[in-house]
Homo-oligomer: A and B are copies of this chain.
Amino acid sequence: MCESNVYLKDGENEVMIMESVDTIVPCENGLNLMDIMGRQLFVPAKIKGMTLLNHRIILEKLT
């Protein structure tokens, strides 16, 4: 399966906030995430980078 884990950058750390994410849809104030089970999460953040082969998507908080 090709879902990714989503991490939020907090200083030097990257904290996983959601596993097995399928869809990401940016909206005005952040990102709407949905995992493969259909669970949804809104995060006031933007995408900092992703490496899909490593299943990693890194977010950073919106300032």
Give the contacting residue for A24; candidates B21, B23, B46, B50; CB below 8 A: B50
Classify the interface of chain A: helix, strand, loop or mixed.
strand
Q: Which residues of B contact A50 (CB under 8 A)?
A: 23-25
Tell whether A16 is near chain B: CB-to-CB under 8 Å.
no
> What sequence of 0s and 1s flags, for each residue 4-27 of chain A, a beta carbon within 8 Å of any chain B beta carbon?
100000000000000001111110
Tell whether A41 is near chain B: CB-to-CB under 8 Å.
no
Tell me, rounded to whole Å, the shortest Cβ–Cβ distance linking A10 to chain B.
Answer: 18
9 pairs from A and B in contact (CB 8 Å cutoff):
A2-B2, A2-B4, A2-B52, A23-B52, A24-B47, A25-B49, A26-B46, A26-B49, A36-B53
